[in-house]
């Protein structure tokens, strides 16, 4: 595994052989959320894990829009990999919307696209994410002495221990800044632009290469009324539903997800 830094986007590579596949995480996530998936794809595929802007080790921005984010990601990936041919692109949730826009706006970069549990439409459930953001913002980082205190305080607001652990991966020690803790994700911007994150831009284009649309059986994010928009933008789309999975398909059903990815991306 090797790590590279760019001015705006942080990338981590896993594997050294096979076709290149770029993986984009969802809201509150980081590229490393796909580490186990990427390792399971070795040696068939060479993965690139991306920290999207305002997340992980990538730079923060003043604005947050899918076309702007997709352009930033495309610029970095194009500069690094364009001379090596097209790459496969996989995106989950918010990362799935970035992936769709990138494929539509920069089709010369993308060979095959996988969109995981999201649609090219306004997403329901913004209230849940607003609650999560408000819960994180309620923590007074100046008084925290240890990470466990953050989890204890959030327990009264967020029941699910796994969700709290996922969110708190964004809490980092600020030892270099006089001690204490800081948020690695740009929570203020994410809260301000949550409506943008939940939406999808109007794009008059189509991506005419193979696309796989992966849904979690127990997730509400892909619905029958989304089918027409998906097929208009991606004429060669086919769908698969992962039984027993909710929204976080790749973490809830990793073996099934890896099998699906390997089969589709290897053609």
Residues with catalytic roles: 93, 188, 247
Distance CA 151, CA 69 (A): 31
CB neighbourhood size of 236 (10 A): 14
Tokens describing residue 120: 């090219």
> Which residues lie below 8 Å from residue 162, measured CB to CB, with a gap of 6+?
none
CA atoms within 13 A on the CB side of 253: 20
How many whole angstroms separate alpha carbon 230 and alpha carbon 259?
A: 23
CA distance 68 to 134: 25
**Please, which contacts does 154-159 make with residues 24 or more away whose CB atoms are closer than 8 Å?**
157/131, 158/132
| 81 sits in which H/E element | helix 66-81
**C-alpha closest to that of 110 among 260, 263, 13, 236:** 236
């Amino acid at each position: 595994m090797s790590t590279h830094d760019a001015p705006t986007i942080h990338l981590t590579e896993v594997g050294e052989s096979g076709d290149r596949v770029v993986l984009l995480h969802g809201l509150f996530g980081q590229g490393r959320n796909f580490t186990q998936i990427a390792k399971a794809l070795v040696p068939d595929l060479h993965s690139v894990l991306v920290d999207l802007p305002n997340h992980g080790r990538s730079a923060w921005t003043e604005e947050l829009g899918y076309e702007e984010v997709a352009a930033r990601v495309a610029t970095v990936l194009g500069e690094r990999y364009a001379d090596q041919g097209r790459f496969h692109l996989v995106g989950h949730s918010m990362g799935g919307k970035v992936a769709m826009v990138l494929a539509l706006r920069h089709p010369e970069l993308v060979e095959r696209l996988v969109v995981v549990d999201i649609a090219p439409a306004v997403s329901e459930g913004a209230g849940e994410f607003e609650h999560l953001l408000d819960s994180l913002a309620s923590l007074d980082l100046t008084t925290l002495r240890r990470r466990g205190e953050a989890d204890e305080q959030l327990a009264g607001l967020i029941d699910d221990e796994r969700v709290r652990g996922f969110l708190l991966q964004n809490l980092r020690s600020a030892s270099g800044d006089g001690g204490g803790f800081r948020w690695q994700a740009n929570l203020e911007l994410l809260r301000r632009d949550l409506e943008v994150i939940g939406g999808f831009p109007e794009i008059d284009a189509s991506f005419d290469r193979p696309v796989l649309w992966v849904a979690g059986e127990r997730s509400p994010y892909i619905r029958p009324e989304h089918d027409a928009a998906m097929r208009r933008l991606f004429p060669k789309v086919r769908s698969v539903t992962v039984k027993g999975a909710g929204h976080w398909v790749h973490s809830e059903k990793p073996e099934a997800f890896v099998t699906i990815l390997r089969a589709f991306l290897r053609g």
